[in-house]
Structure 1
């Protein structure tokens, strides 16, 4: 009897030893498991933003540079100057125009792309994504050569008896180059939203004697609103903070917020004022994007019931 008990105990002990054990981190709290990612986010994002925000309260002395002092003079200078008002109005005006044109161009482009079959869909998708493989600076220089007084665009206009026109260092040059850069960021979210639409809904509408235009307007377009909203937020945010294209195609005369920050940091060496412009650009960008998101989300929810 004792030998039988000992053998059963040894067997149960062997089974317990061979049973899979839970990993060591299974009992850790969730915040501790996400601590490495939170630490990396804090080092790369929160700390630089906090340092930039602290720099906005410094006072600039032309003789010795930034001086540590809790001073709101920089905010008063930016918010009370018509010069900076013009710069911010131009920045968000260009961003809004680029976003609108990207929606008008990118949404039909994504719809046509979704209706293509292989291999044409893959070819045109590669054509749309190809600009992302080229540096923004290279594309800006390419547009500067196209839009120059002796560039290809003016040569084509001259062949029809027009021009030459001053296209470089204008708002038109900035907008057309930003559209070229930002269009893939609009096409891809809309195309992704189209992939989630059941094609039978369109067939059902057409079978109920709805015209293709009505089907597109009443059935397809409302389901594309999330993709259009995502693409619009990305395009607007990137356009409002763009630096290379406005700097190279807008010249010294057409200032936007990003180029003004660059000038304050590297030309005037007024770091507190440059940091103040950067912080106000970030706040204004967030306010516009969140307002836009809330308004469209509310209308979309209401329209979809």
Structure 2
């Protein structure tokens, strides 16, 4: 048998096979990010617009020194962290209950969990605005109970409630997937050795589902920090988050370089927070296993 017939695939074969995906990745993600980065350094003239041949650091100086942007970034990450924390608590419990159910109830509950993903985020935001408005269902129930109406719409509370509703499936699915890999015999063994159910959950179940909790919380935090529809519709014009500021700079002020600078700053800050959180949780997870 000849050497050519017995030779394995060349080293270039994986690159040729992954070539279409890499080209698509470059065209749809890397190139737009590079163009946005270049745009963020362009000089902006209120009369003529961005000047492609002139560059400046003024937009980044404004973002990093203006207290107005400090407040908006702080609100964005604070709301995102609260949403992620609530989704971790509710989503982990819901996924645990889901994993312990038998068919057909498991399939029915899983469909209920995924059902919000079938509806547009804008539609869900309008639905929550009707529920939380001054004449909405929540205040209507409070009036029936003899309580005073409360202002929920156009507050951070309204944004958190709606974001939890939208992001909860992204928390349930990773945790539920991790629970599918959990051997029920390990739990039964711990219980047979006189461990309490709480100790079994804390020492056996929780460490093994921590990767699902980590990935789910990162997804929820990242999507919440970059969310636009819900903060725009439920936060109003005064209660802004970073995505709504980018929208205003692009379409209202027509200051595209400043909008690009704010968007890239959000991306970098988001990556920094998520990577730091990932290292912290993974470190504690490995330490608990060791």
TM tier, shorter chain? Answer: over 0.9
Structure 2 SS opposite 1:225: helix
- Residue 231 of structure 2 corresponds to which residue in structure 1? 246
User: 1:200 and 1:28 mapped to 2: Cα distance?
Assistant: 44
Q: Structure 1: how far apart are the matches of 2:95 and 2:193?
A: 26
Q: Does 1:39 align with 2:20?
A: no
Q: RCO greater where, 1 or 2, for CA within 8 Å and sep 6 or more? A: 2
SS in 1 for 2:55: coil
TM-score (norm 2): 0.95
CA distance in 2, matches of 1:50, 1:71: 16
2:164 pairs with one of 174, 179, 196: 179
Q: 1:56 — aligned with what?
A: 40
Q: Cα deviations across residues 275-298 of structure 1 (Å, max 9, x unaligned)?
A: 000000000000000000001001
Partner of 2:176: 191
The alpha carbon displacement at 1:224 in A equals 1.2
Whole-angstrom CA distance in 1 between matches of 2:16 and 2:104? 48
Q: Per-residue deviation at 1:34? A: 2.1
Quote the residue 2:50 is aligned against: 66
Q: Is 1:86 aligned with 2:71?
A: yes
Local SS of the residue matching 1:34 = helix
Describe the SS at the equivalent of 2:236: coil
CA distance in 2, matches of 1:162, 1:268: 43
Q: In structure 1, what is the equivalent of residue 111 of structure 2?
A: 126
* Alignment gaps of 5+ in structure 1: 1-15
Q: For 1:3-38, what per-residue CA distance to the aligned partner results, in whole angstroms no more than 9, with x for missing partners?
A: xxxxxxxxxxxxx9xxxx89xx94461323322211
Residue segments in structure 2 that go unaligned for 5+ positions in a row: none
Q: Which has the larger radius of gyration?
A: 1
Q: Distance in 1 between matches of 2:10 and 2:202?
A: 52
Q: CA deviation at 1:128?
A: 0.5
